[in-house]
Structures are given as C-alpha cells and as structure tokens.
Chains A and B, each alone.
Chain A
C-alpha cells in the first residue's frame, strides 16, 4: 500500500476543485435535511439555505420522544437481524456442502444459485404475496424477514463458496486425523477461517434488509409494524404540510444507517468493490 501511494501522482488544484465539487453535491441534500430539522416551517419557506436562526429543537425532541419512531426502528432492527442470521446460517451450510463435497449435480445447483442473483424481487412480489397469505405471514415481521433471507442467499453463497473452496484440503485431513468429523471441521475450522467473508455477507444482508421498501410495503399495513423506510414515507404523506417535522424524522432515521456505515465502511465498500483482502 505504501509503495502504491508513493507512486500516485500528487493532486493538483484542479483535483481539489473536483473533490470539493463532488463532496458539495453529495453533502448539500444531507445538510439540508439535518439542518432543516432545526428550523420552523416558516424558516424553511423563507430561507431553506444557510444556518437555522434561531435553532429550533422541538422537531427533533418530538420525533425522538414519539413511540412511532422507536417502534419503526425496533421493527427494522428485528427484521434485519433475523434475515441476516438466517441468510448467514443457511448460506454458510449450503456453501459448505457446495465447496467441500463432490456430488452429482453440484455445479448445476451452484448455477441455480447464481441465477438467483438476477431474479428481481419485484418480479416475485405477487406469487410471494399470495404464498405469504396462505402461510398466514402477512402483517407479520417474519413475513418480511424470511423472504429477505431467501433473497440474500444467492450473493451469500456466491461469495462464500469460493472462499471456503480455497481453504486447503490438508487442514481438513489434519482435522480428521485429530478426530474431528465433517461437522466438527465445519464448525471449528471452516467457519472461524471464513470470518472475513462471513462478515462481508452479513453486512450486505443487513444493509439490504434495513433499506428494503417494496417487501415491507406489501406485507405490513399496520403503522405500528412499519420499518423505517416505510415509516419515513408514511410520515411524509401524513404530515405533508409540516416540512420541518418530516426533515427531523428523516434525519433521525438516517443516523443508524450512517453510523453503521461509518463503522463498517471498509467491509461494505470492500464487499461491493471486490477488494477485501481477508
């Protein structure tokens, strides 16, 4: 890394100008939201730019003390955790079988999973809805979490399988020599060694679930069951005259995503750009 960096050409003023421009365009809407929450509606109408004066705290205190906001946050967290846990648990087992066993039809099965990557949720929405209705899972958090886990499986398996495949067979032999069965090897050696890849897929599954809108929209109709994305959109419709309050609600619901992102940035970016070096 150090070597590479020294080989990079230093930035020119033009580079900095471009950087400032890009950052500015990115940040303005975010600032508008966060600062807007500190204004009154009158202030937003007369001067939406600039610092709020005076700073108004009531929008934020009202949102943060409302049960509807915290419920949505709790629902989002519950659904995302269940979906992530399921996707990682089932996905790692599938990847184990697909990478460490040889059996007939293995490659076909793997191809089936990769095709799953291309299967859009919106195309599955209707049959999924009818299925959930039969299973009595409509209006239920699990009705969101289960399909989300299923839709996270392809990427989970596609990332995990080559990783597990690359772990040397000698380790498996050594484990067998020490008396570990196939499952012991999976649990004690393969999973711990796969941690970087497991973290990446867990984060991808979590973020996908956290931001999902379409599926919760179909499954959940009671506002107390809403997840944050649903909550934000519903809040916007409900208080359409009260811009300041919507902005406060939106800004508050950004915080978990941004916080999580700052904390896991390397993993997310790495997982998406394919540059994680385990």
Chain B
C-alpha cells in the first residue's frame, strides 16, 4: 500500500483538504461569527439558514453541486453575469482544479457548522470582560485579539479536531461527484479503499488500506490530544449536558 503512488496521492489529497480547512474555513468562520455576534434582527432565522446545509446529507449536497457545476450550469452563468466569463473552468474535469472545487463544496456544507459552534463559544464569554478591556482603553481589535480569541481557544481547538478528522475520512461527496477522478486527481484514502477493496474485490489489499487509514486517524488524534486538546475534550463533551 505504502509503495503505491496513487494511495500516497490520495493521502496527500486528504492532507491538502485538512490544511485548507484550517487555513481558510477557520479564519472565515471566526470572522463571520464575530460579525454576527451582535444584536441584529432575524438572528434566529439566520442561525437556522446558516446551519441548514449541515443537516443535508453529503449525497444531496454532491448532486446539487454536480448539477450547478455542469458546463454552462448555474455557476458558469453567474460568472458570466458578473463579467467573469473568462474565468470559467472545467470545474470537475480539470485534474489540477478538481480538488479545490471539491473544497469549495465542502466549505459550503460545513462552514455553517463552524459559525454556529463559534457563536455558541462567543456567547459563553462574559460581556463584562470585554467591557472592562474597553474601559482600560483597549481598541476593538485589541479586545478581540487578546480577550475574545484566547477565550475561544477550546472551541477553536475542538473545531480543528473535528475538521481534520472529517477531512481524513472524506468519502461521500467525492465518490458521488467525481469517483476520485479525473485520473485519481481527487481520490481520497476512503475512495481508494472502496475502489480497491470492493470495486476490484481485492479484500486483502483493501484491508491493508483500512489499517493505514485507521492508523493515520488514530495517530493524529493521539498527537492532537496530547498537545492541543488535553482537557478540552472532556470539558466540551461534559458541558454538552450540564
């Protein structure tokens, strides 16, 4: 397994998706959560709408986006209407692009989850702390950086954990949208596993892939637990039902 270039590329794709999630989705969710953590009309409705994609199955998400990304589909038309017709690509057929297209779809589906998680975290930070900082002459940016973000730490660490574990297991969306193609350009570990273990009936080989997949997830979890989460997990999980 570990000698197969296709598998190594699949693993690399998992890692790229995980890295992009942390590098792009996280700052984006934090920024949006900070913006939305204010008194605005229609807050409840907003929560509902933003969270909706998360409850749809990945299968539905995949089919909807597959149709929107068709050549000349809605996405292309929107680009054209915005005067960006020249930027139109073969979103899912271009091997250099397909992984990033999938990442956009993943972001659409899971961004709301991050925002809601962070909003809940923000709610638990006492307003007095920020008021006190403001009284001491801290600017809004300073307050955010030295008070809000550190206190949001546990939530952020949990989000990173969930996001990376999810990225490592990514399957449904890829299987339906591209089957790992074109030419394995969007294959992930789980897609590779299904392709070899089931489509080609190589059970023994597939089992080896399973073991590697599990070990990768497990090692990540252990390391992360050791260095980042420590007591956060327990706190977060028990807090659920306080």
In the complex, chain B residues whose CB is within 8 Å of the CB of A109? none
The A-contacting residues of B in range 56-73, CB under 8 angstroms, are: 56-60, 62-68, 70, 72-73
1/0 per residue, CB under 8 A from A, across B180-217: the answer is: 00000000011001100110000100110011011001
**Are A125 and B35 closer than 8 Å at their CB atoms?**
no
Docked complex Cα distance between A229 and B117 (Å): 26
The B-contacting residues of A in range 102-125, CB under 8 angstroms, are: 118-125
A59 within 8 A of B: no
In the complex, chain B residues whose CB is within 8 Å of the CB of A253? 60
In the complex, chain B residues whose CB is within 8 Å of the CB of A162? 237-238, 241
Docked complex Cα distance between A8 and B146 (Å): 19
**Are B239 and A254 closer than 8 Å at their CB atoms?**
no
The B-contacting residues of A in range 1-17, CB under 8 angstroms, are: 4-5, 7-12, 14-16
A272 and B117 contact, Cβ closer than 8 Å, known pairs A122-B193, A158-B237, A162-B237: yes
**Are B127 and A4 closer than 8 Å at their CB atoms?**
yes
A174 within 8 A of B: no
**Are A18 and B35 closer than 8 Å at their CB atoms?**
yes
1/0 per residue, CB under 8 A from A, across B150-186: the answer is: 0000000000000001001101100110000000000
**Are A278 and B193 closer than 8 Å at their CB atoms?**
no
User: How many residue pairs between the two chains, A and B, have CB atoms under 8 Å in the bound complex?
Assistant: 228
Selected contact of B59 from candidates A29, A121, A229, A277, CB within 8 Å:
A229
B132 within 8 A of A: no
Which of the candidate stretches A143-151, A180-188, A206-214 sits at the interface with the other chain?
Answer: A206-214
B226 within 8 A of A: no
A278 and B241 contact, Cβ closer than 8 Å, known pairs A213-B58, A269-B47: yes
**Are A122 and B169 closer than 8 Å at their CB atoms?**
yes
- Shortest Cβ distance from B45 into A: residue: A23
Closest chain-B Cβ to A99's Cβ sits at a distance in Å of 12
In the complex, chain B residues whose CB is within 8 Å of the CB of A8? 37-39, 127
- Shortest Cβ distance from B242 into A: residue: A277
User: What is the interface of chain A mostly: helix, strand, loop, or mixed?
Assistant: helix
B8 within 8 A of A: no
In the complex, chain A residues whose CB is within 8 Å of the CB of B49? 23, 26-27
B135 within 8 A of A: no
In the complex, chain B residues whose CB is within 8 Å of the CB of A176? none
In the complex, chain A residues whose CB is within 8 Å of the CB of B193? 122-123, 125-126
**Are B169 and A269 closer than 8 Å at their CB atoms?**
no
**Are B39 and A10 closer than 8 Å at their CB atoms?**
yes
A141 within 8 A of B: no
Docked complex Cα distance between A30 and B64 (Å): 8
**Are A49 and B169 closer than 8 Å at their CB atoms?**
no
B46 within 8 A of A: yes
**Are A159 and B237 closer than 8 Å at their CB atoms?**
yes
**Are A4 and B123 closer than 8 Å at their CB atoms?**
yes
Among A19, A45, A218, find the residue whose CB has the most chain B CB atoms closer than 10 A: A19
**Are A257 and B55 closer than 8 Å at their CB atoms?**
yes
Docked complex Cα distance between A118 and B87 (Å): 40
- Shortest Cβ distance from A29 into B: residue: B64
B84 within 8 A of A: no
B48 within 8 A of A: yes
In the complex, chain B residues whose CB is within 8 Å of the CB of A130? 203
**Are A200 and B127 closer than 8 Å at their CB atoms?**
no
In the complex, chain B residues whose CB is within 8 Å of the CB of A126? 193, 197-198, 203, 206-207, 210
Docked complex Cα distance between A33 and B39 (Å): 32
B78 within 8 A of A: yes
Closest chain-B Cβ to A267's Cβ sits at a distance in Å of 11
**Are B198 and A32 closer than 8 Å at their CB atoms?**
no
Chain B residues with CB under 8 Å of chain A are 32, 35-42, 46-53, 55-60, 62-68, 70, 72-74, 77-78, 81, 108, 112-113, 115-117, 120-121, 123-124, 127, 131, 165, 168-169, 171-172, 175-176, 189-190, 193-194, 197-198, 203, 206-207, 210-211, 213-214, 217-218, 221, 236-242
- With A246-B63, A257-B56 already in contact, 4 other A-B pairs whose C-beta atoms are closer than 8 Å: A122-B190, A163-B241, A212-B57, A257-B55
4 closest A-B pairs by CB? A229-B59, A211-B57, A7-B127, A11-B40
